[in-house]
Amino acid sequence: MVILSEDSIIRVESLPPNIRSFVSDQKIPRPTLTDEGIDLDAAISEFQYRLIDEALRRTNGNKGMAARLLGLSKAELAARLRRNS
């Protein structure tokens, strides 16, 4: 992978989708409901982030196509990306 990379640095985006998904799952644990409860807004925000991330991966970063996959306008996708960053 280092040989094929443009600047000899391997980034998450350089990895195959199945490995990227594994890295994302390890980096951002899935929310679970415990006896103490859960922050529902944070869990919803995380779920939205994961879906947007998956749509962008499937479309190789094409925001217009990702927005269509998600049933959003390109402007709405851009707004949600700004809110999640």
Residue-wise pLDDT for 36-79, tens only, equals 888 888 888 888 888 888 888 888 889 999 999 999 999 999 99
Alpha carbons 3 and 14: distance in angstroms, whole number: 12
Asked if residues 79 and 70 have their Cβ atoms less than 8 Å apart, the reply is: no
Instruction: Output the pLDDT for position 78.
Output: 92
| Alpha helices in the chain, H assignment, sequence order | 17-27, 40-58, 63-70, 74-84
What dotted CATH number matches 15-84?
A: 1.10.10
Q: Which residue has the higher pLDDT, 65 or 2?
A: 65
**Does the pTM exceed 0.85?**
no
Instruction: Output the pLDDT for position 27.
Output: 55
Instruction: Output the pLDDT for position 28.
Output: 55
Question: Please, which pLDDT band fits residue 29 given cuts at 50, 70 and 90?
Answer: low
By the 10 Å C-beta count (0-12 exposed, 13-18 middle, 19+ buried), 64 is classed as: exposed
